């Protein structure tokens, strides 16, 4: 089953893909948006193109949490596939460290950071499922 990982932000969203049989996620892309409805349409197009059967959304602690929960509920209604939340604590920092260690140039690293964070969220979810 293909699973889409999402690292949600105020202006951009990182996406990652994984197959639950392989348990390895890879960064897919970063989507920029102004309106949440536009973002939901972009994600729907990715879900259809990639034949995604489940979505995992990174969920932080703090004030931004409620907005992400609302986004997830709206996305679940739009996609009509299972959508779960997963702890995203420190994933952006971990993504920064991994991309530095991989030798990715600073400008490129900054543009892909959210997609790397989404892949870390997704891999964490997959590892928990055994």
Task: Please write the tens of the pLDDT for every residue from 12-61.
Answer: 999 999 998 887 899 999 999 999 999 999 999 999 999 999 999 999 88
Q: Which neighbouring-strand residues pair with 84?
A: 56
- What mean pLDDT is reported for the chain? 87
Average pLDDT, stretch 71-77? 96
pTM: 0.87
Mention the CATH class of domain 2-128: alpha beta
Q: Is the pLDDT reported for residue 75 higher than 80?
A: yes
Beta strand residue intervals within 33-130, DSSP E: 54-59, 83-87
Task: Parse the chain into domains and list their residue ranges.
Answer: 2-128
Could you give the angle at which helices 106-128 and 91-101 cross, rounded to 10 degrees? 120
Q: How far is CA 3 from CA 64, 86, 100, 130, in A?
A: 24, 13, 26, 15
Cα separation, 20 vs 2, whole angstroms? 6
Model pLDDT, residue 90? 60
**Owner of token pair 């996406």:** 15
pLDDT at residue 80 is higher than 70: yes
């Amino acid at each position: 089953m293909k699973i889409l990982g999402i690292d949600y932000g105020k202006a951009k969203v990182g996406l990652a893909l994984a197959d639950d049989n392989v348990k390895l996620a890879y960064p897919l892309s970063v989507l920029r948006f102004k309106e949440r409805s536009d973002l939901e349409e972009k994600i729907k197009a990715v879900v259809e193109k990639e034949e995604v059967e489940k979505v995992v959304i990174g969920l932080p602690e703090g004030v931004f949490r409620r907005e992400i929960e609302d986004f997830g509920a709206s996305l679940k209604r739009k996609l009509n596939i299972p959508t779960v939340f997963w702890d995203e604590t420190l994933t952006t920092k971990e993504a920064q460290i991994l991309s530095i260690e991989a030798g990715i140039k600073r400008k490129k690293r900054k543009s892909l950071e959210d997609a790397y964070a989404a892949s870390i969220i997704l891999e964490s979810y997959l590892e928990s499922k055994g």
